[in-house]
Amino acid sequence: MDQIKTGKFIAALRKEKHLTQDELGRRLGVSNKTVSRWENGNYMPDIETLRLLGKEFSVSIEELLDGERQSAKKPAKTPDPFTPKERADFWRRNWKRENRSWFIFWGIIVLRWRFSVFLQTFFFLLRIFSLQLFSIFIFITKCASTLITTPIN
């Protein structure tokens, strides 16, 4: 809040309405010297007087304290050039690009785990199959040795 800026704004508003300091003072119930002190930035009006000034000049208290009109302060809102679908596509692509390394990391972890499960299953089946082969080999060996050792009648 700048007292000098507020004072210049009050003076400009008063001059727009073609009022003298004395006329404005009478409307607000203060002296012309008080109005002069506000306009020079020596004093600030109290909150009730700010409310009366706002009504008199059709401005808000915030505009009086800022020392300028809100419309001059804030530019007009421009329409959004993007549709909601375009905006969603942009953020989706952006998110994927930013998180690509995480996708790769977790993809490698999942593939490694699946390969580990595959190897465990493969070796388990190989062990069972080799035991069965070994059992068959033992059986054939015993049969062969029996055939070889038994005399032919």
For residue 43, the 8-state DSSP code is -
**By the 8 A CB rule, do 1 and 65 touch?**
yes
H or E stretch covering 110:
helix 100-149
Domain locations in the chain?
3-73, 103-153
Each residue's pLDDT tens digit, 86-136: 889 988 888 888 888 888 999 999 999 999 999 999 888 888 888 888 888
**By the 8 A CB rule, do 17 and 8 touch?**
no
Predicted confidence at residue 110, as pLDDT, reads 93
Choice between 143 and 15, residue whose per-residue pLDDT is larger: 15
What is 3-73's CATH number, 1.20.1290.10, 3.30.930.10, 3.30.2000.10, 1.10.260.40?
1.10.260.40
b/e burial code for range 90-127 (CB count within 10 A of at least 16 → b): eeeeeeeeeeeeeeeeeeeeeeeeeeeeeeeeeeeeee
Q: For residue 55, what are its two tokens?
A: 């009504």
Q: Please state, in angstroms and rounded to a whole number, the distance separating the CA atoms of residues 15 and 26.
A: 16
Predicted confidence at residue 111, as pLDDT, reads 93
pLDDT confidence band for 15 (50 / 70 / 90): very high
- Asked if the model's pLDDT at residue 72 lies above 60, the reply is no
Stretch among 24-33, 64-73, 89-98 having the lowest mean pLDDT: 64-73
